[in-house]
Amino acid sequence: MLERYLSYVGAIKNLSSHSIRAYRKDIESFLDFLERRGIALKEVSFHDVRRYVSELSKRELSSRSINRKISSIKGFFKFLRKEGYIESNPMDVIGSLKTENALPTFLFEDEMDEFLDIETKDFWSLRDRAIFEFLYSTGCRVSELTSLNLKDVDLKNGTVRVVGKGRKERIVYLGREGREVLRQYLLKRKYYVKSDSPDGMNALFINQQGKRLTDRGVRYVLAKYISQSNVLKRVTPHTFRHSFATHILNRGADIRIVQELLGHSSPSTTQIYTHIGLDKLKRIYLNAHPHARIRDAKNRKGR
């Protein structure tokens, strides 16, 4: 039933292989829980699901992680009910856990500039800088970056065709710095790619074996540079995406434009990436609130 469900959801939602693996992992974790307790899939009750959620909490998983697992299992049981495999759905009365709206980490503009000032001593350090410049310039997810092929990039126009979640295509843009570093990287890339790897030959970014660079590879490279930098924050590939959105919003970009660039289907999703710097927030307040403006003017006069 799990294999049938994954085939079904993959075809209906047009999910990526990465998403399918995540669904599988979440559901197999629950099936393992049932097997350890001798509970048949057809006999799962509301109380069994509650015990599973309680076990996840004891593992100190975050509310967001637990909610993702609940969502995966809900979809599976909805499919089982639709197929007539079960008579009632125990997930119907299971709600999500409350989560805090914590904002992901972002780098300030000067922090980003300092981090991107990488000395390109050889081809691999040039590749690394190209990766970081690309992530910051486009706001792409790391999975989108590693799935890119050479044909997706138009250096002349500074545009890149990206396939995001749900196989939705969008166009993102390379800034002047990102375009120049990528151009230098591409000039040397042909000497390091392995001709016996068709996928590597097509891939935009390659690893040191001359094959396609993976998500894990990007995270490994980033961790190495962060450990050598002055950045004290926890930085992941997603930090570049959040920094991208934060910086262009603070410079006046409309949230709907940012939504399009990030590939979000709903503006509410983009809200996670939108927070205004305190200085800008104060300026908006002083300019917009009548009493604040009067008070501010009096303060200046008093000085």
Q: Annotated active-site positions, please?
A: 141, 165, 238, 241, 264, 273
Structure tokens at 33: 């829980």
3-state secondary structure at position 173: strand
Tell me, rounded to whole angstroms, the distance of Cα 290 from its chain centroid. Answer: 40
Longest Cα pair distance anywhere in the chain, in angstroms? 78
Residue environment code for 91-112, b if the CB has 16+ CB neighbours within 10 A, otherwise e:
beebeeeeeeeeebebbeeebb
C-alpha to C-alpha distance for 37 and 53, rounded to whole angstroms: 15
Other C-beta atoms within 10 Å of 35: how many? 11
Structure tokens at 22: 């995540």
Helices (H), 59-116: 63-82, 109-116
Other C-beta atoms within 10 Å of 12: how many? 9
Structure tokens at 235: 């930085």
C-alpha to C-alpha distance for 297 and 74, rounded to whole angstroms: 57
